[in-house]
Amino acid sequence: MAQDYEIEEMAKEESWRMFRIMGELVEGFDKLSGIQPAVTIYGSSRLSPADEVYTQTQDIARRLGQMGFSIITGGGPGAMEAANKGAKEAGATSVGLNIYLPQEQMGNAYTTKSITFDHFFVRKIMLVKYATAFVIVPGGLGTLDELTEVLTLMQTRKIRPFPVVLFRSDYWNGFLDWLRHTVLARGCISEEDLNLLRVSDEPETVVEIVQTWYMKHQIVGRRAMAR
């Protein structure tokens, strides 16, 4: 009897979890509707404001914001803070999509739209859904997870092949060499997959890549999803 009761309680909890997930999705769709065109910037939460990459990330976001792009980040410190700060300086929509963690990640002070999620996968949907380009600055495991997820969605044609710009070749060259000489050499990916990535060392070049692609295609909103 006790075991049956525990199973029943677990089933109820799973049902309520489903509704909480639905609630997070609805909140995200409601709050982020109309922010396009937007660029999502990924990078380390551990990046110090004294780091050159912090200043460069801020510059990239400010330049994109001045061109009319909203900026989306994970809403935390480090690279996310730098990007939101640059967007706010430009007067652009500055979106922070934070998440509740055991070691709480404090939201940065530079967002104009902010949502905090319980579920990583809902947050990741929102980071991708409204973007028409992705800029990846130096980061750790979370950044690598987000980068490979974006590439997988493009590889499987779940989203269109938007620009994916790796900023700072000195940081990313080892990863790219491994992809070319190990992963591609073993046939685990194709040359076409590698062509999804672009590398830049200058903020103005990053912005030019995004702007040139957008002016050519102007794909936002529902049209961004694969046919």
- How far apart are the C-alpha atoms of 169 and 53, rounded to whole Å? 12
- How far apart are the C-alpha atoms of 93 and 114, rounded to whole Å? 11
Q: What is the pTM of this model?
A: 0.89
> What domains, with CATH codes, occur in the chain?
32-224 (3.40.50.450)
CB atoms within 10 A of CB 153: 18
Reduced to 3 states (helix: H, G, I; strand: E, B; else coil), residue 106 is: coil
- Say if CB 43 and CB 136 are below 8 A apart: yes
Burial class of 25 by CB neighbour count within 10 A (0 to 12, 13 to 18, 19+): middle
- How far apart are the C-alpha atoms of 172 and 147, rounded to whole Å? 12
Listed as own residue / partner, the contacts of 212-221 with beta carbons closer than 8 Å and 24 or more positions apart are 213/132, 213/133, 213/162, 213/163, 214/37, 214/69, 214/132, 214/133, 218/37, 219/132, 219/160, 219/162, 220/36, 220/37, 220/132, 221/36, 221/130
Residue 138, CB-side half-sphere exposure with 13 Å CA sphere: 17
- Say if CB 116 and CB 107 are below 8 A apart: yes
Per-residue pLDDT of the chain (227 residues; tens, 9 = 90+): 555 545 555 555 677 788 888 989 999 899 999 998 999 999 999 999 999 999 999 999 999 999 999 999 999 999 999 999 999 999 999 999 999 877 657 889 999 999 999 999 999 999 999 999 999 999 999 999 999 999 999 999 999 899 999 999 999 999 999 999 999 999 999 999 999 999 999 999 999 999 999 988 776 555 555 53
φ/ψ of 197, rounded to 5, equals -100, 140
